[in-house]
Amino acid sequence: MEGERLGITRASMLQNHLLIQAPLGKARRRGLPLPEPGFIYGRNNYVQEGGVASAISHWDINEPVKHISQMDRDFVALNRAAVKAGLVTAPEHYYFRATHDIRCKDMKSESGRSHITRLPPDMTFGISTRPSTPISDLLANTYQDRWLQDQRSAEKVHQAKDQKKVQLGKVFETRASLLRKYQPPIDPAPLWQLPRFQKIGPHLETFRDPELRRRSYRAQNSEAATRSGHLGQGIYNTC
């Protein structure tokens, strides 16, 4: 039978949507039971106001309760104070911490404080006025001449320093000493390559001998100026 269950049917089972079966041919009801008659929705206001007379005469302002949070112990400051006191061993530090207490500072409360900046009485606020552009100096290339003069003076100072670096008694290198220390570079061994990918000579030689090949290329280079095309290999010009 529909709706028949075994065991005790509890009131909570009639409110669980997973246990409630939909009646035949009807939509399943979804909702929550309403509270008892006379139930007031909202939140209780425990502040007892005096009405209009109290509002006209004064305002009752509820000051927020300041919760003093217990900050953690500042072990860095404790260790610093113990070292300053001359304590070195671990037991001495342990007894020092048991008899002294230093807490961490509340950074939020310190950051919220307003720091008053003391300004001098004759301080002027604002931005300084930008000086006018010296047009005459720009037209006369004064800045260029000044830069060139500075470069020349800096070069002279650099040359004077280089001359002072020469020390008496220093052994100068000769060509023989340089050649004695010189080590000719050695080309690294080529990488291994498959035989079929190695560079080999041409399979077909169209010239009978190297002398005929040389004479043929010489004739081609001599006629390249009168030919058209890439590298003088085209037809003859008709101009």
Secondary structure of residue 138 in the 3-state scheme: helix
Q: By C-alpha distance, which of 123, 143, 125 is closest to 133?
A: 143
pLDDT (tens digit, 9 = 90+) per residue, 134-193? Answer: 888 888 888 899 999 999 999 988 888 877 666 556 677 889 988 888 888 888 888 888
pLDDT: which is higher, 175 or 27: 175
User: Does any domain span residue 170?
Assistant: no
Largest CA distance in the chain: 131
Give whole-number Cα distances, 187 to 101, 190, 191, 228, 237, in Å.
Answer: 73, 9, 12, 43, 49
| Residue 1 confidence class, pLDDT cut points 50, 70, 90 | very low
User: Does any domain span residue 90?
Assistant: yes
pLDDT (tens digit, 9 = 90+) per residue, 44-73? Answer: 776 666 677 777 776 655 555 555 456 788
User: Does any domain span residue 91?
Assistant: yes
User: Does any domain span residue 184?
Assistant: no
User: Does any domain span residue 21?
Assistant: no
The contacts of residue 177 (CB under 8 Å, 6+ apart) are none
Could you tell me the two tokens for 216? Answer: 């043929």
38: pLDDT strictly greater than 90: no
Q: What residues make up the domain containing 85?
A: 75-106
Number of structural domains in the chain: 1
User: Does any domain span residue 88?
Assistant: yes
User: Does any domain span residue 101?
Assistant: yes
Please provide the DSSP assignment of 153-184 as one string. HHHHHHHHHHHHT--TTPPPP-HHHHHHH---
Give whole-number Cα distances, 164 to 156, 157, 159, 170, 171, in Å.
Answer: 13, 11, 9, 13, 16
Please provide the DSSP assignment of 1-37 as one string. -TT--SS---GGGGT-TTTPPPPTTSPPP-------T
Could you tell me the two tokens for 72? Answer: 């953690």
